[in-house]
Amino acid sequence: MKIGFIGLGAMGVPMAANLLKGGHELHVWARRGDAARPLLAQGAKLFASPKEVGESSEAVFTIVTTGADVERVVLGENGVAHGIKPGSVLVDCSTIAPATARTLAAALAQRGVDSLDAPVSGGETGAAAGTLSIMVGGKTEVFERMKPVLSLLGRTLVHVGDAGAGQVAKAANQLVLTVALQGIAEAIVFARANGVDFKPVWEALMKGFAASRMLEVFGPRMMDRQFAAGLDAKLHHKDANIVLECACESKTPVPGAALAAQAFNALIAREGNRWDSAAILKVVEEMNGRGR
């Protein structure tokens, strides 16, 4: 296929590279030209606008930061929607509000364009390895049509439901992750406040029911105070607030998610945008009068 790709960040570049490796012709647009260089060296073609990417592609993938960013590159001036042909497909892999995904799908449907909201989980490692988990909302027949392409990006492909359902699934995923981060930080502070080093506690927890990928990865980061690199806290901050927005719309109480969201609010206010999410430990320490 001729596939467009917009959003050449830490996730987008390796995902797009996997599409090239799968034999597809890749058409890209980048806000910063330098971001496209690794893909151009592998045979991708650079276009001057999202509109031109749409004109030249049978399917267009997007993975950008916010819902407003998606709307801008798809529906805005010189956006994909102004060039993409009826019968084509837009696959948005960003993490945005379900309501925004549904609005986008409706706007594209009016132009005869199919769409899938297909947020991903698995981080940069999963993006590079092509082992992402992809949660998909949209028509079943469109999912089946795009499944061979999606399989180049992810190992776990789950069709969740209609438009917006993929984003609901990703919000549920982020709810679990943010609450888990809060819980890990609290467990560390709790153990230390009671005179116990958390390292042997962590080793014990990793052998029992409390074991999880989050505890495996973020427990050591918090213990070693590795706060300056990894997964930007600003992304979990954004995602936690998407959960609260969606919960408000559906009148669903999510008290654990609300607490985690406020902790990330405090972290961003305290430290700015460029810290790893493990730095949530600093917030919990300060709440307990044990800031470092």
Each residue's pLDDT tens digit, 233-264:
888 999 999 999 999 999 999 999 999 999 99
Query: Which pLDDT value is given to residue 228?
Result: 82
Query: Which pLDDT value is given to residue 229?
Result: 66
Mean pLDDT of 186-209: 97
pLDDT of 291 > 70? The answer is: no
Q: Say how many Å lie between the first and final Cα of the chain, rounded.
A: 53
- Does domain 168-287 bear CATH number 3.30.70.1520? no
Tokens 């893909």 found at: 39
Q: How would residue 232 be classed by pLDDT, with cut points 50, 70 and 90?
A: confident
Sign of CA dihedral 257, 259, 261, 264: negative
Instruction: Give tens-digit pLDDT for 20-54.
Output: 999 999 999 998 888 999 999 999 999 999 999 99
Structure tokens of 97? Answer: 């509000």
How is domain 2-162 classified at the CATH fold level? Rossmann fold (3.40.50)
**Residue 197 CB neighbours (<10 A):** 11
Query: Which pLDDT value is given to residue 272?
Result: 64
Mean pLDDT of 280-284: 94
Q: How far apart are CA 257 and CA 250, in angstroms?
A: 15
Residues 6 or more apart whose Cβ sits within 8 Å of residue 188: 198, 219, 222, 223, 281, 284
Mean pLDDT of 280-286: 94
Query: Which pLDDT value is given to residue 281?
Result: 95
Instruction: Give tens-digit pLDDT for 75-125.
Output: 999 999 999 999 999 999 999 999 999 999 999 999 999 999 999 999 899
Q: How far apart are CA 5 and CA 26, in angstroms?
A: 7
Q: How far apart are CA 95 and CA 242, in angstroms?
A: 9
Residues 6 or more apart whose Cβ sits within 8 Å of residue 175: 240, 243, 254, 256, 257
Q: How far apart are CA 31 and CA 286, in angstroms?
A: 39
Query: Which pLDDT value is given to residue 96?
Result: 97
pLDDT of 271 > 80? The answer is: no
Percent of the chain residues past pLDDT 90, beyond the cut: 90
Query: Which pLDDT value is given to residue 273?
Result: 62
pLDDT of 274 > 80? The answer is: no
Structure tokens of 22? Answer: 């799968």
By the 10 Å C-beta count (0-12 exposed, 13-18 middle, 19+ buried), 291 is classed as: exposed
The three-class DSSP label of residue 186 is helix
Please name which of 107, 100, 109, 118 lies closest in space to residue 249, comparing C-alpha atoms.
100
Residues with catalytic function: 170
Please name which of 246, 251, 263 lies closest in space to residue 180, comparing C-alpha atoms.
263
CA dihedral 13, 3, 61, 105 (to 10 degrees): 180
CB-based burial, 6-25: b 16+ in 10 Å, e otherwise: bbbbebbbbbbbbbbebebb
Structure tokens of 253? Answer: 């109480």
Query: Which pLDDT value is given to residue 32?
Result: 85
Bridge partners for 60 per DSSP: 4, 90
- Domain spans, the chain: 2-162, 168-287
Q: How far apart are CA 92 and CA 120, in angstroms?
A: 10
Mean pLDDT of 67-75: 97
Rg over CA atoms, the chain:
20
Query: Which pLDDT value is given to residue 33?
Result: 80
The three-class DSSP label of residue 11 is coil
Query: Which pLDDT value is given to residue 145?
Result: 98
Mean pLDDT of 259-283: 88
pLDDT of 292 > 80? The answer is: no
Mean pLDDT of the chain: 95
Residue type, 84: I
